[in-house]
């Protein structure tokens, strides 16, 4: 077999991604995603476009926590497992964990998905609702259907504001307390992201995966700083497949008129399987 045959996309039986190069932009759980892709034959480029910074010492998080403890809360929306656990850990450091847990126990707890449910139960609490869609939209629909006028609703943010979500609650009459548990920041080392941008513009990467909306924003922010934002958009509208873990992650791409695919189940396994199905099909 010559080198051209060996590198032909989809060329090895049983390895649908043999000959394809896939970029992973995630910082969290990247190793798991990379292993799943390599198991299917892909060559993987890892370039985290954002990093999460815990806010254990953040004054805004402490203020929101103190407000909920002192005033109380009617409903709490938990959006990520790591964020919910981090919130309780920060409260413990401030001596507020017991009081916060008591407030949460007396409130309606809404979890975005099963991993968040696990974090809630790990804290000795129980969720009241978790949508089958595993989306914030499903949580919002439930809250609006029940009515939120005059209720205080705490929303645990997942690294970035949720203006559509919190705006809809406020428009329906809720008092919203935003709980910023961690913040997304650019990576300390931008070298891997710059090399990924070069590869995307050159079309030497066949697909790029995203597991959070801030990861999309981080890639485009860096591209625009380097003056290659238009070239990046052109690549993703053309030869390079953009694959997202779910529709919320894909929204920043849609805002830029960039097509993206996402699996029906918002998980890493289905995301990788979708890439393994899509790339050979596109090559054919």
Q: What is the CATH number of the domain that holds 230?
A: 3.40.50.10090
Residues 268, 266, 219, 167, Cα dihedral to 10°: -150
Query: What tens digit of pLDDT does each residue of 193-242 get?
Result: 999 999 999 999 999 999 988 899 999 999 999 999 999 999 999 999 99
Lowest mean pLDDT among 60-64, 90-94, 182-186: 182-186
Least Cα distance to 29 among 245, 259, 247 occurs for: 245
Q: Which band of pLDDT confidence, cut at 50, 70 and 90, is reported for residue 55?
A: low
Domain residue limits at 227 = 3-50+187-283
- Proportion of the chain above pLDDT 90, given as a percent: 67
Query: What tens digit of pLDDT does each residue of 128-179 get?
Result: 999 998 888 899 999 999 999 999 999 998 766 788 899 999 999 999 999 9
The Cα–Cα gap between 206 and 25 comes to: 14
Lowest mean pLDDT among 33-37, 109-113, 247-251, 269-273: 247-251
The Cα–Cα gap between 205 and 267 comes to: 22
90/135 same-domain check: yes
Number of domains in the chain: 2
221/204 same-domain check: yes
254/175 same-domain check: no
240/171 same-domain check: no
Does this model's pTM top 0.75? no
With 90 as the cut, is the pLDDT of residue 185 above it?
no
278/265 same-domain check: yes
How high is the mean pLDDT of the chain? 89
168/66 same-domain check: yes
**Joined tokens for residue 133:** 């869609």
Edge to edge, what strands does the sheet with 21-24 contain?
43-46, 21-24, 207-210, 241-244
**Joined tokens for residue 91:** 């409260």
117/195 same-domain check: no
Q: Which of 140, 160, 184 is the C-terminal boundary of a domain?
A: 184
224-233: long-range pairs with CB below 8 Å, 24+: 226/194, 226/197, 228/197, 228/201, 231/201, 232/197, 232/200, 232/201, 233/257, 233/258
45/105 same-domain check: no
CA atoms within 13 A on the CB side of 166: 19
Q: Which of 161, 184, 207 is the C-terminal boundary of a domain?
A: 184
Q: Which of 135, 151, 184 is the C-terminal boundary of a domain?
A: 184
125/112 same-domain check: yes
21/93 same-domain check: no
Q: Which band of pLDDT confidence, cut at 50, 70 and 90, is reported for residue 47?
A: very high
pLDDT, greater one: 182 or 99: 99
113/63 same-domain check: yes
221/130 same-domain check: no
């Amino acid at each position: 077999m010559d080198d051209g045959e060996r590198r032909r996309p989809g060329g090895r039986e049983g390895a649908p991604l043999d000959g394809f190069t896939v970029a992973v932009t995630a910082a969290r759980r990247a190793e798991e995603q990379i292993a799943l892709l390599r198991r299917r034959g892909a060559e993987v480029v890892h370039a985290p476009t954002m990093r999460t910074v815990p806010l254990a010492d953040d004054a805004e998080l402490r203020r929101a926590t103190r407000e909920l403890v002192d005033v109380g809360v009617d409903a709490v929306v938990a959006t990520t497992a790591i964020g919910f656990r981090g919130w309780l850990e920060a409260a413990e450091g401030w001596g507020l964990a017991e009081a916060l847990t008591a407030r949460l126990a007396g409130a309606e707890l809404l979890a975005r998905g099963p991993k968040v449910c696990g974090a809630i139960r790990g804290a000795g609490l129980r969720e009241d609702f978790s949508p089958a869609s595993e989306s914030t939209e499903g949580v919002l629909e439930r809250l609006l259907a029940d009515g939120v006028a005059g209720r205080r609703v705490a929303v645990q943010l997942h690294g970035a504001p949720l203006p559509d979500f919190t705006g809809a609650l406020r428009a329906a009459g809720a008092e919203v307390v935003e709980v910023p548990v961690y913040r997304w920041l650019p990576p300390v080392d931008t070298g891997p992201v710059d090399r990924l941008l070069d590869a995307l513009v050159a079309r030497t990467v066949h697909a790029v995966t995203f597991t959070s909306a801030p990861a999309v924003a981080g890639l485009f922010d860096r591209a625009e700083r380097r003056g290659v934002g238009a070239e990046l958009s052109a690549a993703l509208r053309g030869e390079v497949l953009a694959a997202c873990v779910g529709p919320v992650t894909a929204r920043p791409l849609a805002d830029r008129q960039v097509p993206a695919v996402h699996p029906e189940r918002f998980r890493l396994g289905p995301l990788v399987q979708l890439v393994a199905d899509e790339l050979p099909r596109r090559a054919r």
